[in-house]
Structure 1
Amino acid sequence: MSDTAPVITRGLTKRFRSGQVAVDSVDLEVPTGSVFGFLGPNGSGKTTTIRMLLGLIAPTSGSVELLGQPMPKAQLAVLPRVGAMVEGPAFYPFWSGQANLMRFDAADRTSDPRTRKARAGEALERVGLSAAAGKKVRAYSLGMKQRLGIAVALMQRRDLLVLDEPTNGLDPQGTREVRGLIRELAADGITVFTSTHLLAEVEQVCTHAAVMSRGKLLRQSSMVELRSELRPRLVVRTPDLGAAAETLTGLGVTDLRRQEETVDGDPGELPIDKLAAALVAADVRIHGFGLERPSLEDAFVALTGEGFDVAE
């Protein structure tokens, strides 16, 4: 693999004829060997960005490089090294899963027909569909079709795998299996770029993440960096909100917020025992006291101003 980042965009923009700006000046850089989570609420521009990355639609402006080469100019050289599943897989419904895989592989001018059947079997086994290899795809569940779409992307060795909502339609067991598969692929040296609106995907699988909202890229960083920025907050549960807030402000606690029977704020480097003693001395009734680290959900929602589907 090249030392160049597998995915680079500069000022990537897509404006439709209606005037809608679906993607607005996005700069992305995906590290080699990472599991990169492209996170955002539904309708935030993720799929449109992916379609531009793969040369499926042309950007209005800006540039894309995949595996160190410009797209779509170099797509004939680049795309054989890229596996992709975008906007849900489409298959021949009256063919079996294995027959579909072999048909897709036959359309790839770089594939070896002598190993096609063996590679189809290996891909089906890797995504847990060996038992359904001979079943017609019209009898597959949505989750099985998702797995078959990933199997198509795995028919050949890839340097980059692009997955658009790969766990869509999967039950909890299937979701865990796909997460495990993504980790295995990354361990094999494949860079995985996966879009999702599920925060759990990013938390449990990804090494890096980018956050999209309303077509704009709000943030990209490593997950280690993001977690390190989540400063713990002092949380005091008390019916004496006014007295508690006044006492904590006087001690230097900042960014105070009041909710029903709760005051929380940023204590900085202030000793927690000193804060507790001061509240007791001020006759503040304490029903709960401690430091709580904000969740990644809090961080992402704060960035976008929108909620995420955080379900499994």
Structure 2
Amino acid sequence: MNGSCSEAPIVTRGLTKRFRSGQVAVAGIDLEVPAGSIFGFLGPNGSGKTTTIRMLLGLITPTSGTVQVLGQPMPKAQLSVLPRVGALVEGPAFYPFWTGRANLLRFDAADRTADPSTRKQRAGEALERVGLSNAAGKKVRAYSLGMRQRLAIAVALMQRRDLLVLDEPTNGLDPQGTREVRSLIRELAGDGTTVFTSTHLLAEVEQLCTHAAVMSRGRLLRQSTMAELRSELRPRLVVRSPDLEQAKQTLAALGVTDLREPGETATDDPTVEGDPGELPIDKLAAALVAADVRIHGFGLERPSLEESFVALTGEGFDVAE
């Protein structure tokens, strides 16, 4: 690897981007990405993720605030920083009448830090890692969207990097390709590369990331480890009963708080849910039975990560693979 970075590879302070139209795409975000993490940059489409990434890489200039990548200020230190960064931002433009391999060799030749003597070997290894060895000799115009996405990732993998920045890396991939890219990202992180990946897919964050940040309408709402996010999803007591009012009164008298009736449930039974706090679940059940409440369903249910993020942003997320 081209050196190591024990400090946070990405740090922003008050990072803001306002376009000439007056639109504020990114509003004063303070972002910190730990070394060695797989960091999920999550938000609905249009939340400011790609604009942030472009500022991180020095592709556009912030209106205000600061960016440090691998310990150096951006965009001032572009020439020394970018050779240590592999990036996929909305996919590079390929030459459609060239083969996948030829495109890869051309991108590498444009890298002033690349070693020409190992170019063909590295291209072959990158193509193999993204599952394109058999299609390396085909013209890119014949590639599917998913194959172009794989080739774009191969460009980022031509050299060992300290930081990998991937904007929607599984866009256009089928389920098998998505799993392969996830496995590749885990492998890269295991080798010591910090991976910063933006996505609007909750499945990506839940299955892949060690840390996450949530963006909405240009603002950074939350960042933490995934373990912290999961630990904050307090379980809720769910009771299904035709005696709903009696159940609510009994639970309230016992100290269950935040009682409410969800709008939609998996069954037709009237349902009430609430926060049991530290109250023993067996005593709650016994009290309902003693009050002659007919119980059709009873238990603790932990809110999903989707519910947590929707509560933060007020917007929906795509949960599809």
Q: What's the TM-score, normalizing by structure 2? A: 0.96
Q: Does 1:160 align with 2:163?
A: yes
Shift of 1:282: 1.9
Task: Give the alignment of 1:59-98 within 5 angstroms.
Answer: 59-98=62-101
Percent identical: 85
Residue 294 of structure 1 corresponds to: 303
Could you say what secondary structure the match of 1:259 adopts?
coil
Residue 175 of structure 1 corresponds to: 178
Q: Does 1:270 align with 2:273?
A: no
Could you say what secondary structure the match of 1:306 adopts?
coil
Deviations 1:185-217, CA, capped at 9 Å, x for gaps: 000100000000000000000000000000000
Shift of 1:279: 1.1
The answer as to whether partners of 1:123 and 1:155 remain within 8 angstroms in 2 is yes
Amino acid across the alignment from 1:110: T
Shift of 1:259: 2.7
Distance in 1, matches of 2:248 and 2:255, equals 11
Residue 131 of structure 2 corresponds to: 128
Residue 106 of structure 2 corresponds to: 103
Shift of 1:3: 1.7
Task: Give the alignment of 1:237-252 within 5 angstroms.
Answer: 237-252=240-255
Q: Does 1:204 align with 2:204?
A: no
Distance in 2, matches of 1:294 and 1:217, equals 22
The count of residues paired between Structure 1 and Structure 2 equals 312
Q: Does 1:48 align with 2:51?
A: yes
Deviations 1:158-182, CA, capped at 9 Å, x for gaps: 0000000000000000000000000
Unaligned runs of 5+ in 2: 264-269
Residue 284 of structure 1 corresponds to: 293
Shift of 1:281: 1.9
Residue 223 of structure 2 corresponds to: 220
Stretches (4+) displaced over 4 A: none
Shift of 1:41: 0.4
Unaligned runs of 5+ in 1: none
The answer as to whether partners of 2:5 and 2:70 remain within 8 angstroms in 1 is yes
Deviations 1:238-297, CA, capped at 9 Å, x for gaps: 122211111111111111111361111110110111111111122222110001111111
Residue 192 of structure 1 corresponds to: 195
Moved more, 204-213 or 298-307: 298-307
Could you say what secondary structure the match of 1:143 adopts?
helix
The answer as to whether partners of 2:5 and 2:162 remain within 8 angstroms in 1 is no
The answer as to whether partners of 1:4 and 1:68 remain within 8 angstroms in 2 is yes
Distance in 2, matches of 1:239 and 1:7, equals 54
Distance in 1, matches of 2:7 and 2:261, equals 48
What CA RMSD, in Å, does the superposition of the two structures yield over aligned residues? 0.8
Residue 30 of structure 2 corresponds to: 27
Shift of 1:90: 1.6
